[in-house]
Amino acid sequence: GMGILEPLLTKSGVKPKGVVVIGTVKGDLHDIGKNLVAMMMKGAGWQVVDLGVDVEPDKFVSTAQEKNADVIGMSALLTTTMVNMKDVIELAKSQDCKAKIIVGGAPLTQNYAEEIGADGYAPDAATAVEVVNKLISV
């Protein structure tokens, strides 16, 4: 599986740039895109906390607070589940969570990301790394 690539991407002795909490939103069980993002983020020197799939909004936010995360990354592959991203963003704001929030997944658009109040939008894994690096000037 993808595990084979991981050691190649993880450069030894690189100090982590920061912490990224990622997961697929509540009701969504797709994880290939998310796993790819996790792998690329690790390769780019970020510490990744992967919450898996079908993640409740409070799990994203409480984990981000607990780990003092710089970024929350959410993915959704269904139009029916992408609406759950807004709940995470609203909860994060209400709890004064400092993490920047990026969203991605097939049904999403830049417009939708802005509409729900996300800090960044990534159409694919490679872009996700760029977006995070831009948001968190490292």
**CATH C-level class of 16-133:** alpha beta
- The neighbour count for residue 62, using CB atoms within 10 Å, is 15
- Per-residue pLDDT tens for 24-78? 999 999 999 999 999 999 999 999 999 999 999 999 999 999 999 999 999 999 9
**Could you tell me the pLDDT band of residue 9, with boundaries at 50, 70 and 90?**
low
Alpha helices in the chain (DSSP H): 6-9, 32-43, 57-66, 79-82, 84-94, 110-115, 125-135
- Residue 16's pLDDT is 76
- Per-residue pLDDT tens for 69-95? 999 999 999 999 999 999 999 999 999
Domain ranges of the chain: 16-133
- Residue 1's pLDDT is 52
pTM of the model: 0.88
3-state class of 110 per DSSP? helix
